[in-house]
Structure 1
Amino acid sequence: MTGQPAPSAIDPVALTGDLIRCESVTPADAGALDTLQRVLEGLGFTCTRLPFSEEGTADVDNLYARLGAARPNLCFAGHTDVVPVGARGAWSADPFGAEIRDGLLYGRGAVDMKGAIACFAAAVGRFLAERGSDFGGSISMMITGDEEGVSINGTTKMVRWARETGEALDACVVGEPTNPRDLGDMVKIGRRGSINGTITVEGTQGHVAYPHLADNPAPRLVRLLAALDALTLDEGTEHFQPSNLEITDIRIGNDATNVIPATAAARFNIRFNDTWTGARLDAFLRETLDKAAAPDGTRYRLDTRVSGEAFLTEPGRLTEVVAGAIEDVTGRKPELSTTGGTSDARFIKDLCPVVEFGLISDTMHKVDERVRVTDLEQLTDVYTEILRRYFAG
């Protein structure tokens, strides 16, 4: 899309295509933010580019745009970066060509989540055409280029910038793909937390024929993992499923068949609900492993990293506005869910209540990622209705 479109003239399908044609594989931007900024400035937004850096990571550009100065400030958050396409030859269309075929728009990012960004921009244009610029508040967009990557120079630093500059958000809708089958199936009102752990058990290397001269760490590691695997962390809550621990990797790195290894290690991940915090879970894991290690004096080291805490946006006005808009447009009453992985909502929840609603998730990160053109139109209608309801009265 070029030029300065009139508020009512933004075509969400065309804008999605323009964004897809920017090969913004993390951490590259490839003009995606420039494309969006031109459209938003045409609507009257004030745009602030927020490039962030950190040693050992790639520089990332981000965009914060705001229309209006009054409160409340309803924010839409998302990301223009995408995952790699994989084997290009496996695609039936150019992954960055934005081809429309049989009512489907093909391209990396069509669902996750350039389509939702385009729909929200188009929705703002329609809303302004109805209400004008004096609608009783502000609309903002927080767009990162670092959601699919390490998430260091993106939303987490934009949230810090908002706090430091006094940029207040009152509510936020994240445009992640949330619907399993049909538009209107599901709204995410929270996310489980995630903690990664690595257990390393120390032993003494030796010859397998002389085990009394060595100390095999492999059986010791197995016993520690068995203690973790036997845990029942909780029974779940009203809004969350039970927390679960999954062992994801066991490695010794021993190519010899006649050598007892010196070390053995394993990795695991826990997706935890709001009965836990990362710190409490870390302490519980260490207590469990200490008990399992004590009888035979197993020497081990546990390293953990919390990538996100569990959070819940309690059902209230924001969820009512979003769910009501979805039901009004699609005829479906959405499930209020906390399933799935993590998203940048885990950072934004420190600023304001946040929910997630976007497109259908079945092709995200896949070969031939695609979205129905009719879904882009309908999602634009949903976002428009959210704006009407949020700023009603």
Structure 2
Amino acid sequence: MPVDALTLAERLIRFPSVSSQSNADIADFAAELLRGLGCRIERTEYENPPGTVKVNVVGKLGEGTGGLAYFGHLDVVPAESWTGPGGDPFGPVVENGRLYGRGACDMKGSVAAFLAAVAGFDAPLKAPVYIALTADEEVNMRGAEHLAAHSAMFREMVAQETAAIIGEPTRLRVVYAHKGGAGFEVVAHGRAAHSSTDHGINANWAMVPFLVELKRLYERTRTDPKWLNDEFDPPHISLNVTLCDHNPAINITPEKSVCRAMFRPMPGQNPNELLDEVRALAERMGLSFEPLPSASPVYIDPADPFVREALAITQTDRPLTVSYGTDGARLTALKRMLVLGPGDIAQAHTADEWIELEQLEAGVRVYREFIRRFCT
């Protein structure tokens, strides 16, 4: 069954699969396409917190053990401020050697490239090819978390030590590690009143001493070797703080002040140490503390034979690290896993998202060579 990567990428972009919506339609489309390629299909469903149906699809082509697994996600971030050609983020446009559209880079282009590689592969398979397409990567990787917990095919990959590729955009460079994620929410409570009176309690003033101490902790994470790793750029955990008091008017004393923060732990670091320190600080100051959902770092030894083989396939001389996260954070039961896909992360989530056609075509060639080396 012939599949053209560009045509398929355009078709996938036309599905407005923003994470807040159900992805059932694009997942069912992908499942039918996988069936057409000869795959056995596993479809799992769950509901997100608002009750929206989400779908993961896994296809398996061929028999035997080991083989190669590809992981991609079908959801995309919103595109309300789209500035790309055509004016419609879900109306793909090809212009000046680029495919524009929401998800073109992150990561429907990659999914299309891998499916085209499978479709154009005509040698007999001695080991299976798995294609796992998830929901909700853009919102705490819920789809991959559900897949890891409920997919029989995923358990099969783990048991057989299948080599796995997370197809996020890396310009087809081999990525052996990425940072994780952790965070917290600290809340100060006050009492709303007209600011001309003394009847109110301004929650922001209660938050200020906490922020002073949090700033000291932030500075420590930039110098303490415990929180540094020179394999990454930047080499620190990138503690990022946001503040909001939800106050409707400047003449009302804020009754609530919220500090939310995220940091990106690297392999070998224990984020709970930092969370425990912040929790103790908040409680000492009479503030409430809640941890936010976390995500594991991804790491494979850069000297691992799988990494060496990937470097040979991509004709590159050294593997890289990245500071963003992927579905791999929920798939760490897979011990041979790296990140590699067409496109540049700099174009992901932008108001005119695009992928170079050359990268799309190169992705097909590279993925096809992975299939040849690991499945024949």
TM-score, length-scaled by structure 1: 0.81
Higher mean Cα deviation, 238-247 or 301-310? 238-247
Aligned partner of 1:365 in structure 2 is: 349
> CA contact under 8 A between 1:203 and 1:217: conserved in structure 2?
yes
Per-residue deviation, residues 103-157 of structure 1 (Å, max 9, x unmatched): 222222111111111111122234x31x313x2x2110110132224543x1111
Q: CA deviation at 1:59?
A: 0.7
Q: CA deviation at 1:197?
A: 1.5
Name the % identity: 25
Aligned partner of 1:171 in structure 2 is: 163
Q: CA deviation at 1:324?
A: 2.0
Whole-Å Cα distance in 2 between the matches of residues 285 and 326 of structure 1?
Answer: 43
Aligned partner letter, 1:355 = L
Q: Does 1:39 align with 2:33?
A: yes
Per-residue deviation, residues 261-292 of structure 1 (Å, max 9, x unmatched): 554332222222234334333212224445xx
Please, what is the CA RMSD of the aligned residues? 2.8
- Aligned residue runs from structure 1 range 7-86, under 5 A: 9-26=2-19, 27-29=21-23, 31-54=25-48, 56-86=50-80
> CA contact under 8 A between 1:18 and 1:35: conserved in structure 2?
no
Per-residue deviation, residues 7-39 of structure 1 (Å, max 9, x unmatched): xx3221222122222332333337433333333
Give 1 or 2 for the bigger CA radius of gyration: 1
Whole-Å Cα distance in 1 between the matches of residues 201 and 247 of structure 2?
Answer: 16
Whole-Å Cα distance in 2 between the matches of residues 41 and 207 of structure 1?
Answer: 65
Whole-Å Cα distance in 2 between the matches of residues 58 and 25 of structure 1?
Answer: 12
Aligned partner letter, 1:162 = S
Unmatched 5+ stretches in structure 1:
none
> CA contact under 8 A between 2:23 and 2:75: conserved in structure 1?
yes
Aligned partner of 1:326 in structure 2 is: 314
Change (3 A) 1:199 1:118: same
Aligned partner letter, 1:245 = L
> CA contact under 8 A between 2:179 and 2:267: conserved in structure 1?
yes
Aligned partner letter, 1:320 = R
Change (3 A) 1:369 1:311: closer
Q: Does 1:142 align with 2:129?
A: no
> CA contact under 8 A between 2:180 and 2:264: conserved in structure 1?
yes
Unmatched 5+ stretches in structure 2:
none
> CA contact under 8 A between 1:190 and 1:312: conserved in structure 2?
yes
Task: Give the total of aligned pairs.
Answer: 361
> CA contact under 8 A between 1:49 and 1:63: conserved in structure 2?
yes
Aligned partner of 1:161 in structure 2 is: 150
Residue 189 of structure 1: SS of its match in structure 2? strand
Aligned with residue 278 of structure 2, among 266, 275, 285: 285
Aligned partner of 1:350 in structure 2 is: 333
Residue 386 of structure 1: SS of its match in structure 2? helix
Change (3 A) 1:267 1:23: closer
TM-score, length-scaled by structure 2: 0.85
